[in-house]
Structure 1
Amino acid sequence: MTQKWVGRFAPTPSGPLHFGSLVAALGSYLIARQRQGQWLLRIEDIDPPREMPGAAQDILSTLEAFGFEWDGPVTYQSQRTAAYEQALDLLHSKSLVYQCDCSRKIVIERNDGVYDKYCRNRDLIDIGDSAIRIKFDPTFAKFNDEIFGHCEFNQQVFCQDFVVRRRDGLFAYQLAVVVDDIDFGINHIVRGADILDSTPRQNFLYHCFDKSAPSYFHLPLVTDESGHKYSKSKFFPAVEPAKACEWILKAYIHLGQKPPETDQIDKPDELLNWAVSNFELNKISKQPIAYPTDRGGEITT
């Protein structure tokens, strides 16, 4: 029996939807819909210090204005703390995690910022001021990506024991995203190549939970002319719903696709339907693509 395709888009509400996120949303949507699969939506609001008030609703409204239709209700990580606690308890029961009271400053001073397993065998007791790290297995440094092919992150920085719960008590991205994807049956992950190096850690977590890892499709990054990732942190402007079709076409072209020969498709939902029918996965580039911007920061093509 063929497994039903289940994909997702999972933005962080640290600001309005920008072009880089639109590329990830479009790529994941087209690949899922072309295979008659599900496309779920998750808001990764697990890190309050990074979040912008009202950003989650703004992202949802923008996606709707752009014609995206997701399956089922929106999931919010902030409402799933119990699931992450349960997952962490399971890791504890398997003796896969340990307390670590090393500050970032100490790790930098001791080993240039790469964690050296200092607390692995110290048997610290959790007194509320320590992080929890997992005993990473470096054999998971290799994996296959459907776009990039064979990938290997065997440098020391990628093979260190990583944090699954922070010192401030917040659950780390790596743990939360894997627990969510397992619980909601996500079996195909399409996202930006900026998260490519997180894949070994996430695959290791799947192994720890006795689950099969999904298939991965990492999309080419959007950069400015200096090679910087096009993101909210660089203060690039949000995509504008009033120009939805224009932005969708820019994202579609970024994914290596040929735009329609007619300019008569002037509704976002119709443009998305056309794109689903004409999308070719093998046209996607592995290389980051730079875009010039005008003085206001808007992409010009």
Structure 2
Amino acid sequence: MEHTRYRGRFAPSPTGPLHFGSLVTALATWLEARTVNGDWLVRIEDLDPLREPPEATDQILHSLDVHGLHSDEPIRFQSRRHPAYQTAIVQLLENGQAYRCTCSRKQLQAHNGRHPNECTKRHSAPDDAPYAIRFALMDQSGQWQDLLLGPQHQTVRAELDDPVIQRKEGFFAYQLAVAVDDIDQGISHVVRGSDLLDMTAQQQQIFRALGAQPPLWLHIPVILNAQGQKLSKQNHAPALDDSQPATNLVQALLALGQRPPAELTQADVNEVLAWACTHWRRAAIPLTSRQARGITPSTQSHSDH
């Protein structure tokens, strides 16, 4: 299916409030959609309740709202989409494109990624052991054109690289849910952090197994903290200061290689976003995290260290 309209999305996991790195990604996805009069959607990827504080979703949506980033359609929650994911898994199992895996990580590591329990040959559920469900990759040299990074090549190895699409605890995995929802919502373009680049060739195969063409991808550099680590909740990234949204947006534009005038920090959010839409240059986005040198607004004074 050929996409005739740009449809993009921002899809955070509610493991905590938005941090500056999340805002940079959200703004890039929003600008890519807005500058071609496309649609911009927000999807909450709440797949793992064990890692999701109950207040996080409201915090994320509030931050997006005060920064002027509003979804064009009702917000989608993956926690309400379990039947669709289960339908996809049944389809993949029936088509021989997924299998039940009882192996532990330790067992797989001890066998160099091969399945000692011969999971790839299993056609029915085991009686006495918990199991995950894995997507059955095909050996392939994956190729695609990244909209920022250019031609990409990834080798995918059957069995060794097969991703989990449903965990042993029953939770649906990102690799499955993101494809099911991107297909269902007609997402044509995906803008995301370069930390997800390595799974793109796998995701191409999942999209095609589900009967759809993959979207076009644009991978932007992840934002690093002063220690050179990716900004994330795991690395204790501070929450966005929602009391200074214009300043946050200007800093995000700088991290994306744009050149907003300094006086925009004194403007209101709508003025900042209007300037960004008029002056957005995809080609100016840094290719690497070191070039981005993105620092949270609260630590801007340390940006030379």
Normalised to the residue count of structure 2, the TM-score between the two structures is 0.90
Query: Once the 2 structures are TM-superposed, how far is the Cα of residue 53 of structure 1 from its aligned partner?
Result: 1.7
CA distance in 2, matches of 1:70, 1:292: 26
Query: Once the 2 structures are TM-superposed, how far is the Cα of residue 174 of structure 1 from its aligned partner?
Result: 0.3
Q: Which residue of 1 aligns with 2:186?
A: 185
Q: Deviations over 1:40-68 (max 9, x none)?
A: 00000011122122100100001001111
Residues 57 and 144 (structure 1), Cα distance of their counterparts in 2 relative to 1, 3 Å cut: same
Query: Once the 2 structures are TM-superposed, how far is the Cα of residue 152 of structure 1 from its aligned partner?
Result: 2.2
Select between 159-168 and 3-12 the one with higher mean Cα deviation: 159-168
| Residue 112 of structure 2 corresponds to residue 121 of structure 1 | no
What amino acid is the match of 2:81? R
Q: Secondary structure at the match of 1:234?
A: coil
Q: Which residue of 1 aligns with 2:102?
A: 101
Q: Which residue of 2 aligns with 1:225?
A: 226
Q: Which residue of 2 aligns with 1:13?
A: 14
Query: Once the 2 structures are TM-superposed, how far is the Cα of residue 6 of structure 1 from its aligned partner?
Result: 0.3
CA distance in 2, matches of 1:242, 1:103: 46
Would the aligned equivalents of 1:115 and 1:161 in 2 still touch at CA under 8 Å?
Answer: no
Q: Which residue of 2 aligns with 1:32?
A: 33
What amino acid is the match of 1:182? I
CA distance in 2, matches of 1:98, 1:200: 19
Select between 155-164 and 206-215 the one with higher mean Cα deviation: 155-164
Q: Secondary structure at the match of 1:241?
A: coil
Q: Secondary structure at the match of 2:278?
A: helix
CA distance in 2, matches of 1:62, 1:45: 17
Would the aligned equivalents of 1:138 and 1:159 in 2 still touch at CA under 8 Å?
Answer: no
Would the aligned equivalents of 2:139 and 2:156 in 1 still touch at CA under 8 Å?
Answer: no
Q: Secondary structure at the match of 2:50?
A: helix
Q: Which residue of 2 aligns with 1:134?
A: 135
Q: Secondary structure at the match of 2:191?
A: strand
Once the two structures are superposed, the pairs formed by residues 80-95 of structure 1 within 5 Å of their partners are 80-95=81-96
What amino acid is the match of 1:129? P
Residues 293 and 188 (structure 1), Cα distance of their counterparts in 2 relative to 1, 3 Å cut: closer
Would the aligned equivalents of 2:137 and 2:157 in 1 still touch at CA under 8 Å?
Answer: no
CA distance in 2, matches of 1:266, 1:170: 44
CA distance in 2, matches of 1:52, 1:264: 32
Q: Which residue of 1 aligns with 2:76?
A: 75
Query: Once the 2 structures are TM-superposed, how far is the Cα of residue 173 of structure 1 from its aligned partner?
Result: 0.5
CA distance in 2, matches of 1:254, 1:73: 29
CA RMSD of aligned residues (A): 2.3
Q: Deviations over 1:165-222 (max 9, x none)?
A: 1111111100000000000010100111111112111111111012111111111111
Would the aligned equivalents of 1:257 and 1:283 in 2 still touch at CA under 8 Å?
Answer: yes
Q: Deviations over 1:19-56 (max 9, x none)?
A: 11111100000010000000000000011122122100
CA distance in 1, matches of 2:72, 2:218: 20
Would the aligned equivalents of 1:11 and 1:42 in 2 still touch at CA under 8 Å?
Answer: yes
Gaps of 5+ in 2: none
CA distance in 1, matches of 2:136, 2:121: 11
CA distance in 1, matches of 2:234, 2:34: 30
Q: Which residue of 2 aligns with 1:66?
A: 67
Select between 275-284 and 222-231 the one with higher mean Cα deviation: 222-231
Gaps of 5+ in 1: none
Residues 14 and 145 (structure 1), Cα distance of their counterparts in 2 relative to 1, 3 Å cut: same
Query: Once the 2 structures are TM-superposed, how far is the Cα of residue 225 of structure 1 from its aligned partner?
Result: 3.4
Q: Which residue of 1 aligns with 2:256?
A: 255
Residues 158 and 35 (structure 1), Cα distance of their counterparts in 2 relative to 1, 3 Å cut: farther
Aligned positions, number: 297
Q: Secondary structure at the match of 1:151?
A: strand
What amino acid is the match of 1:110? H
Q: Secondary structure at the match of 1:190?
A: strand
Once the two structures are superposed, the pairs formed by residues 161-172 of structure 1 within 5 Å of their partners are 161-172=162-173
CA distance in 1, matches of 2:144, 2:176: 18
Residues 115 and 270 (structure 1), Cα distance of their counterparts in 2 relative to 1, 3 Å cut: farther
Residues 138 and 206 (structure 1), Cα distance of their counterparts in 2 relative to 1, 3 Å cut: same
Normalised to the residue count of structure 1, the TM-score between the two structures is 0.92
Query: Once the 2 structures are TM-superposed, how far is the Cα of residue 157 of structure 1 from its aligned partner?
Result: 10
Select between 116-125 and 203-212 the one with higher mean Cα deviation: 116-125
The percent of aligned pairs where both chains have the same amino acid is 36
